[in-house]
């Protein structure tokens, strides 16, 4: 029976970065990915800032960058809309299949053992050692990292899960430099439809919402746009209720989607989930080097404290914005969008941070007419977002 210092269940960005950081410290690591290919199935829009990638220690290969020419974002309500400049945010669209393989190579070169088509059937702790039963036989480890994605969190709580569909599409109405986000509380309750260009006339088009038939809803959205050809379909649940209470329990560490580290407003998570993996991998490496205790408040617990220090306030504000979104009908959405003055949009475009967008949301809502309407709906909730 093979033994590792750390076993990582799940080969997405968070698990791979965790494995890379742990392996760089000289400890033995195995990454177990249930699918036949790292990076597949890709159900991520792939939008990320280059600054975020830099913080994760990743310079995306040319093969991983699908589009580096994003200049603007159209934000639409049923009858209104506005446009933001995205040039200063230096946002790119990445091919997650290529990106995840690039990080897997980083982890492998650091010494990690990466195995695909190897699913974790169960894991249990016997003393200070885990016994991990897999489709390839039993393994043991001293630490276990759960990076199995939304599937892991759904088992504990389904309330924050939305249905989603994302297609790769060829269509003449997709402009290479423009992202589109469309809100409609009847068609996409609690979320939105999106269009992320990967080139001229091609992109990723998707929808998500509470209780919707994602396939039918996405078909309706695209049919209204015009002629198109679908070259790939992906269906996946997304999590929008923020982080779970505990990232660490003894020697079990949870990262990425499984820890609820995706943004409540957009369900994006390359940076926030990747940073979860980075901090977790370093915390485990330090615990092993210093023979630290297993207390959640000890060396491993520092991982959650550090992640919360970086993203806790941001996620709290995004959850407030989500509560607002869920309670606005289409009339209120139109009124809110029409109340936003041009100077606020220009300010957000010039000072906004793609990785921390709650501040931009607060600035957009901090106008008299919008604020009055929102306060009438949510009272103290909107005051916390605008004033906090």
* DSSP letters spanning 296-331: TTSTTHHHHHHHHHHHHHHHHHHHHHHHHHHH--HH
For tokens 């660490």, the residue is: 248
Give the start-to-end residue ranges of the domains of the chain.
Answer: 2-46+95-156+244-299, 65-94+161-239, 320-387
pLDDT on residue 374: 53
Q: What are phi and psi of 213, to 5 degrees?
A: -90, 100
147 with 258: CB under 8 angstroms?
yes
33 with 115: CB under 8 angstroms?
yes
Give the Cβ contact number of residue 162 at 10 Å.
21
Give the Cβ contact number of residue 197 at 10 Å.
22
Q: Assign domain 2-46+95-156+244-299 to a CATH class.
A: alpha beta
State which CATH number among 3.90.950.20, 3.30.9.10, 3.40.50.2300, 3.30.450.20 fits the domain covering 65-94+161-239.
3.30.9.10
CA-nearest of 138, 147, 133 to 31 is: 147
CA-nearest of 134, 96, 101 to 20 is: 101
3-state helix, strand, coil in the chain (%, to 5): 40, 30, 35
Q: Which SS3 state, helix, strand or coil, does residue 126 take?
A: strand
CA-nearest of 281, 376, 352, 316 to 75 is: 352
225 with 207: CB under 8 angstroms?
no
Residues 6 or more apart from 331 whose CB is under 8 A from it?
A: none
Do 65-94+161-239 and 2-46+95-156+244-299 have the same topology in CATH?
no
Length of the chain: 388
CA-nearest of 267, 248, 251, 262 to 14 is: 262
Say what the pTM is: 0.92
Name the CA radius of gyration of the chain, rounded: 21
Phi-psi region of 201 (alpha: psi -120 to 50; beta: other; left: phi over 0): left
348 with 364: CB under 8 angstroms?
yes
Could you give the residue ranges of the DSSP H alpha helices within the chain? 13-24, 50-55, 96-110, 150-154, 214-225, 270-289, 301-327, 330-338, 342-351, 358-365, 368-378, 380-387
Give the residues of the chain that fall short of pLDDT 50: 368-369, 376, 379-380, 383
**Span 149-198, pLDDT tens digits:** 988 887 666 678 999 999 999 999 999 999 999 999 999 999 999 999 99
Give Cα 81 distance to the centre of its chain: 25
pLDDT on residue 285: 96
pLDDT on residue 369: 46
């Amino acid at each position: 029976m093979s033994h590792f210092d750390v076993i990582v269940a799940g080969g997405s960005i968070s698990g791979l970065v965790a494995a890379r950081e742990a392996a760089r410290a000289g400890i033995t690591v195995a990454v177990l990915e249930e699918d036949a290919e790292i990076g597949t199935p890709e159900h991520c829009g792939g939008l990320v800032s280059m600054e975020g990638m830099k913080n994760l220690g990743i310079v995306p290969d040319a093969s991983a960058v699908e589009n580096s020419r994003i200049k603007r974002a159209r934000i639409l309500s049923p009858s209104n809309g506005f446009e933001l400049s995205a040039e200063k945010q230096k946002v790119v669209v990445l091919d997650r299949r290529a990106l995840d393989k690039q990080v897997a190579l980083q982890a492998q070169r650091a010494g990690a053992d990466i195995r695909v088509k190897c699913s974790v059937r169960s894991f249990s702790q016997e003393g200070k050692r885990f016994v991990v039963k897999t489709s390839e036989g039993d393994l043991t480890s001293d630490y276990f990292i759960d990076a199995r994605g939304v599937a892991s969190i759904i088992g504990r709580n389904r309330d924050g899960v939305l249905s989603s569909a994302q297609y790769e599409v060829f269509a003449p109405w997709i402009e290479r430099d423009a992202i589109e986000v469309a809100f409609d509380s009847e068609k996409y309750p609690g979320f939105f439809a999106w269009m992320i260009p990967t080139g001229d006339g091609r992109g990723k088009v998707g929808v998500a919402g509470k209780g919707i038939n994602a396939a039918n809803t996405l078909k309706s959205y695209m049919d209204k746009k015009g002629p198109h050809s679908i070259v790939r379909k992906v269906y996946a649940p997304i999590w929008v209720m923020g982080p779970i209470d505990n990232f660490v329990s003894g020697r079990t560490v949870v990262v990425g989607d499984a820890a609820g580290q995706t943004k409540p407003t957009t369900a994006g998570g390359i940076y926030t989930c990747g940073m979860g993996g980075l901090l977790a991998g370093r915390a485990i490496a330090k615990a092993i080097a210093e023979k630290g205790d297993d207390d959640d408040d000890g060396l491993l617990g520092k991982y959650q404290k550090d992640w919360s220090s970086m993203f806790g306030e941001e996620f709290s504000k995004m959850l407030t914005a989500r509560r607002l979104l869920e309670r606005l009908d289409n009339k209120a959405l139109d009124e809110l969008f029409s109340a936003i003055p041009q100077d606020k949009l220009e300010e957000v475009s010039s000072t906004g941070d793609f990785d921390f967008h709650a501040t931009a949301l607060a600035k957009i809502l901090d106008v008299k007419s919008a604020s009055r309407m929102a306060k009438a709906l949510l009272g103290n909730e909107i005051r916390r977002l605008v004033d906090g």
